[in-house]
Amino acid sequence: MNAETLLVLLYVLVLASFVGFELISKVPPTLHTPLMSGSNAISGITIVGAIVAAGPQDWSMSKGLGIVALLLATLNVVGGYVVTDRMLQMFKKKKK
């Protein structure tokens, strides 16, 4: 990786981290668990990396690891979003 690419990626990392720090403030306690669950689903973004790792045409150890990664990441993403939605759904009904 050349220095220029690395620098661009570092810019992205630092700025995105600052956005993340600023994003959350004064969250009501009832939303703590759903927020945690919702951001857990977002951390399933590893699925993008898993797709690339599972990408090669020919089977190899590397691709095998990618496929297992893809399975686990999919569980994280789908399970994470569904669970969060169920929590928030219940929350809404309670309010009414």
Q: Which of residues 12-41 bind another protein (CB under 8 A)?
A: 12-13, 16-21, 23-41
Instruction: Tell me the site size for another protein, rule CB under 8 A.
Output: 80
Task: Write down the least CB distance from residue 27 to another protein, Å.
Answer: 5
What lies within 8 Å, CB to CB, of 66 at 6+ separation is 50, 51, 52, 53, 54, 55, 56
Interface with another protein in residues 30-89 (CB under 8 A)? 30-57, 60-63, 65-89
- Identify the sign of the CA torsion 24, 28, 29, 35: negative
Q: Does the footprint of another protein cover residue 95 (CB under 8 A)?
A: yes
Q: How far apart are CA 75 and CA 8, in angstroms?
A: 31
94 near another protein (CB under 8 A): no
